[in-house]
Amino acid sequence: MTMPPVKYQKGDTVMGRWPGSSLYYEVKVLDFDVKSKLYTVIYKDGTELELKEQDIRSLSGFQTRSRSRSRSQSPGRRRSRSRSPARTTRRSSSRTAAAVAAAAITDSAPSSRKDIKLKDTLEVRLSPLNIEAKADTEPEKNQGRYNLRRRKDDGEGKPEVQEEEVKVAAPAPAATPSTPLDFGGKIGAYFWLLFLPAWVLFVILQGNLEDPSLANFPPPLPPLEAFWDPQALVFVILWILFQVLLYVLPVGKLSEGMPLRSGERLKYRTNGFFAIAVSALAVAAAVHQGVDLTYVHSRFLQLATATFIISVLLSIYLYIRSRYAAPEQLALGGNSGNVVYDFFKGHELNPRIKSFDLKFFCEMRPGLIGWCLINFAMALAEMKQQGLDAPSYSMILVNLFQLLYVVDGLWNEEAILTTMDLMHDGFGFMLAFGDLVWVPFTYTLQAYYLVSHPNPLSLPAVAAILLLKFVGFYIFRKSNSEKNAFRRNPSDPKLSHLKTIPTATGKSLLVSGWWGVVRHPNYLGDLIMALAWSLPCGFSHLLPWYYMIYFVILLVHRDSRDMSECRRKYGSAWDEYCRTVRYRIIPRVY
Ligand code: NDP
């Protein structure tokens, strides 16, 4: 059998058509697959694609053709022709076609008015998907690497982009189900909707047992009326309203979020530290006035039920409003078309009532500050139940460690604006339930457990646990601050010693400093801290270790979600980062 002749050889520099457009870029041939008859080519920005032979031209042939066309056709006529978008298949590039097209086009300085027109045409046609590329380039506009704004006709330099005909393929609208489904997809969503509340119920019931060992699974279910206490609902509502009030007060900084796909940057009132300080004063005053906070311990189940009801109502509201939100206000996920999945995952990125940001508020306020309130109430309950004058060392450590975690989060509240939850995830049941129920009612499990399961600690043990906590905290804080500072101002002189990898979106990736040790140094610090939170509870039961176990699972899953997302965003630059920084969370282990 004779092999068909291969027109272009490995290493040849040719002109390759960008998928769905009539734009040709200089590319290098990497490979030819005989079976599919596709050439693998690499663009100058590192993007690899598979192209059909008809989408490739030799350099010499292209230049001759291009010259003769430009003599015979006016730009207006050239724009009027349309092309099929699906003539090539995409391979390793993780970016949208529009992103690459935009980056490649703007990477080269236009040499004539004609080039500016070409850029304008593309910008006008930017759909929500394209706009994502535009927004991604914002942070480094200052560095002049990728600039989607109209430039002056500088009349110099030969453009790398050769114009033949101007037509950009119609990109997928944001509403098109485009992202792979997380969390086990549609079946997974049903599972999580049932499992998560059931798990909260399980740990609350188990934590109250004298012997909360796995041998006592399942814990006896209380009668249905034991779940409901109208006073608990009022308590939760008042707490949320109090936090709303603190959030809307014109106190504290207004911080800018990361650029959205529309290019807009939302403003957030980052006064979380003020909120927790005022809350602490209010709680202290209430206790001083004789309010019995041990109520939180004795009505823990009822409080959780009331909060759960609120989170469900909120999620229903979020789901309904997401159906009416404009495409540019939607997250890329949560659009499967399946009601249950979309309700669970959330679709609207930043649902707001006027300037009140529901997601930011829920992420940072009632649950997070409520976590500290519950821990404090558990310390009071421990003293009452065990007849102590002061809380035990274990209880003090758990309270202090977690308080430090929350206070730090609120002090650095701005840093949440560059995290996955804020930047990428829609706001739905997953986050609403997580923020309002999961965090305050399961992260307090160690303190809840210690109320009826004392674990005396020696001073050396206290010292060792303290040391572990501070090591974890140091890694966590330093790495998060480093990334946050870099994302906010990539040319910050304080970060100039750090090495970076440029990506075709215009953003760079840190490849030294903390982000050169492992790919998620912040997760490493967080896990060390989680260990320090469980140790004060000893080893008699698995229950207080739940947070540690859960957190390993959460962060490993979160890491893999983030890896896929970054791979999609940064393509070959991300691969290069992964080759350079080989471990994900624990150096030399994972
Ligand atoms: P990260 O703060 O780690 O954010 C991940 C993003 O950072 C990526 O999507 C990417 O976004 C950017 N990034 C990744 N690598 C690099 C790099 N090398 N250089 C520059 N930017 C990079 O993730 P999370 O939002 O998951 O976590 C934030 C913190 O919250 C962590 O400390 C985590 O431990 C903690 N956390 C705590 C939880 C809890 O329940 N206690 C739950 C979840 C998280 P882009 O490039 O688009 O900027």
Residue with CA at minimum distance from ligand 1 atom 16: 509
CA of 378 to the centre of ligand 1 (A): 31
For residues 262 and 385, membership in a common domain is answered with: yes
For residues 418 and 466, membership in a common domain is answered with: no
Answer with the residue of higher pLDDT: 40 or 162. Answer: 40
CA 3 to chain centre: 49
Looking at residue 22, its pLDDT comes to 61
Looking at residue 119, its pLDDT comes to 31
DSSP conformation class of 430: H
484 in ligand 1 pocket by Cβ < 6 Å?
no
CA of 190 to the centre of ligand 1 (A): 27
Task: Examine the pLDDT at 114 and tell me if it is beyond 50.
Answer: no
476 in ligand 1 pocket by Cβ < 6 Å?
yes
500 falls in which pLDDT band (50, 70, 90)? very high
Is residue 68, in this structure, part of any structural domain at all?
A: no
Q: Where are the beta strands (DSSP E) in 44-186?
A: 48-51, 56-58, 89-90, 162-163
Place of tokens 């906070």: 293
363 in ligand 1 pocket by Cβ < 6 Å?
no
Is residue 553, in this structure, part of any structural domain at all?
A: yes
Is residue 189, in this structure, part of any structural domain at all?
A: yes
176 falls in which pLDDT band (50, 70, 90)? low
523 in ligand 1 pocket by Cβ < 6 Å?
yes
Looking at residue 155, its pLDDT comes to 33
3-state secondary structure of 562: helix
522 in ligand 1 pocket by Cβ < 6 Å?
yes
Of 137, 168, 199, which residue is a domain's last?
168
Count of residues in the chain: 590
267 contacts 253 by C-beta, under 8 angstroms: no
Looking at residue 19, its pLDDT comes to 61
Place of tokens 């291969």: 6
For residues 22 and 120, membership in a common domain is answered with: yes
Q: Among the atoms of ligand 1, which is closest to the Cα of residue 558?
A: 26
Task: Examine the pLDDT at 107 and tell me if it is beyond 60.
Answer: no
- Nearest to residue 440, comparing CAs of 552, 300, 253? 300
Q: Among the atoms of ligand 1, which is closest to the Cα of residue 522?
A: 32
Alpha helix stretches (DSSP H) within 138-271: 185-208, 230-248
For residues 193 and 58, membership in a common domain is answered with: no
Task: Examine the pLDDT at 163 and tell me if it is beyond 60.
Answer: no
Provide the pairing of β-strand 89-90 with 508-510. Answer: unpaired
DSSP conformation class of 436: I
Answer with the residue of higher pLDDT: 214 or 88. Answer: 214
**Residue in 441, 562, 577, 581 to alter for ligand 1 test, most ligand atoms within 8 A of Cβ:** 562
558 in ligand 1 pocket by Cβ < 6 Å?
yes
For residues 158 and 192, membership in a common domain is answered with: no
CA of 156 to the centre of ligand 1 (A): 42
For residues 499 and 586, membership in a common domain is answered with: yes
Half-sphere exposure for 339 (CA within 13 Å, toward CB)? 2
DSSP conformation class of 215: G
Is residue 131, in this structure, part of any structural domain at all?
A: yes
Looking at residue 423, its pLDDT comes to 85
**Residue in 436, 523, 560, 581 to alter for ligand 1 test, most ligand atoms within 8 A of Cβ:** 523
| Weakest-pLDDT range from 77-81, 117-121, 292-296 | 117-121
Is residue 73, in this structure, part of any structural domain at all?
A: no
Task: Examine the pLDDT at 286 and tell me if it is beyond 80.
Answer: yes
**Residue in 566, 574, 583, 586 to alter for ligand 1 test, most ligand atoms within 8 A of Cβ:** 566
Q: What is the dihedral sign for C-alpha 229, 235, 241, 244?
A: negative
Answer with the residue of higher pLDDT: 35 or 562. Answer: 562
Is residue 221, in this structure, part of any structural domain at all?
A: yes
306 falls in which pLDDT band (50, 70, 90)? very high
**CA pair distance 401, 544, nearest whole angstrom:** 15
Answer with the residue of higher pLDDT: 317 or 257. Answer: 317
**R_g over Cα of the chain:** 28
Looking at residue 221, its pLDDT comes to 85
Q: Among the atoms of ligand 1, which is closest to the Cα of residue 511?
A: 18
Exposure of 496 by Cβ count < 10 A (0-12 exposed, 13-18 middle, 19+ buried)?
exposed
Task: Examine the pLDDT at 4 and tell me if it is beyond 90.
Answer: no
Under 8 Å CB-to-CB from 133, ≥6 apart: which residues? 95, 96, 98, 99, 100, 102, 103, 126, 505
420 in ligand 1 pocket by Cβ < 6 Å?
yes
**Residue in 483, 486, 533, 570 to alter for ligand 1 test, most ligand atoms within 8 A of Cβ:** 483
566 in ligand 1 pocket by Cβ < 6 Å?
yes
Looking at residue 21, its pLDDT comes to 56
Q: Give the DSSP H or E segment for 459.
A: helix 459-488
What are phi and psi for residue 30, nearest 5 degrees?
Answer: -100, -35
For residues 533 and 436, membership in a common domain is answered with: no
285 in ligand 1 pocket by Cβ < 6 Å?
no
**CA pair distance 80, 77, nearest whole angstrom:** 5
584 in ligand 1 pocket by Cβ < 6 Å?
no
Give the tens place of pLDDT for each residue, 71-95.
433 333 333 333 333 333 333 333 3
For residues 427 and 548, membership in a common domain is answered with: no
Buried residues in 559-585 as b, exposed as e (16+ CB within 10 A): bebbeebbbbbbbbbbebbbeebeebb
Share of the chain above pLDDT 90, in %: 49
CA of 585 to the centre of ligand 1 (A): 12
- Nearest to residue 332, comparing CAs of 584, 135, 587, 102? 135
For the domain that residue 47 is a member of, what is the CATH number?
Answer: 2.30.30.140
Answer with the residue of higher pLDDT: 143 or 34. Answer: 34
Is residue 78, in this structure, part of any structural domain at all?
A: no
Looking at residue 403, its pLDDT comes to 96
565 in ligand 1 pocket by Cβ < 6 Å?
yes
Give the tens place of pLDDT for each residue, 354-391.
999 999 999 999 999 999 999 999 999 999 999 999 99
Q: 482 is written with which tokens?
A: 């480093």
334 contacts 318 by C-beta, under 8 angstroms: no
Under 8 Å CB-to-CB from 221, ≥6 apart: which residues? 205
For residues 477 and 341, membership in a common domain is answered with: no
**CA pair distance 499, 481, nearest whole angstrom:** 16
Looking at residue 72, its pLDDT comes to 39
Task: Examine the pLDDT at 164 and tell me if it is beyond 80.
Answer: no
156 falls in which pLDDT band (50, 70, 90)? very low
For residues 376 and 518, membership in a common domain is answered with: no
Of 454, 477, 509, which residue is a domain's last?
454
Provide the pairing of β-strand 38-43 with 253-256. Answer: unpaired
For residues 370 and 240, membership in a common domain is answered with: yes
Q: Which domain holds residue 335?
A: 177-454
| Weakest-pLDDT range from 106-110, 231-235, 412-416, 476-480 | 106-110
Task: Examine the pLDDT at 63 and tell me if it is beyond 80.
Answer: no
509 in ligand 1 pocket by Cβ < 6 Å?
yes
300 in ligand 1 pocket by Cβ < 6 Å?
no
Q: Give the DSSP H or E segment for 38.
A: strand 38-43
How far is CA 49 from each of CA 30, 95, 208, rounded to the nearest angstrom?
10, 11, 59
Buried residues in 377-409 as b, exposed as e (16+ CB within 10 A): bbbbbbbeeeeeeebbbbbebbbebbbebbbbb
**Side chain identity at 538, as an amino acid letter?**
G
Q: How many domains does the chain contain in total?
A: 3
510 in ligand 1 pocket by Cβ < 6 Å?
yes
CA of 330 to the centre of ligand 1 (A): 21
Exposure of 478 by Cβ count < 10 A (0-12 exposed, 13-18 middle, 19+ buried)?
middle
Is residue 81, in this structure, part of any structural domain at all?
A: no
562 in ligand 1 pocket by Cβ < 6 Å?
yes
Answer with the residue of higher pLDDT: 27 or 438. Answer: 438
Give the tens place of pLDDT for each residue, 545-586.
988 998 999 999 999 988 988 988 888 889 999 999 999 999
For residues 134 and 198, membership in a common domain is answered with: no
Q: What's the whole-model pTM score? A: 0.69
Give the tens place of pLDDT for each residue, 489-498.
888 888 888 8
Task: Examine the pLDDT at 108 and tell me if it is beyond 50.
Answer: no
61 falls in which pLDDT band (50, 70, 90)? low
Q: Among the atoms of ligand 1, which is closest to the Cα of residue 581?
A: 18
526 contacts 551 by C-beta, under 8 angstroms: yes
DSSP conformation class of 330: B
Of 454, 483, 499, which residue is a domain's last?
454
321 in ligand 1 pocket by Cβ < 6 Å?
no
230 falls in which pLDDT band (50, 70, 90)? very high
Under 8 Å CB-to-CB from 459, ≥6 apart: which residues? none
Looking at residue 173, its pLDDT comes to 43
Q: Among the atoms of ligand 1, which is closest to the Cα of residue 523?
A: 34
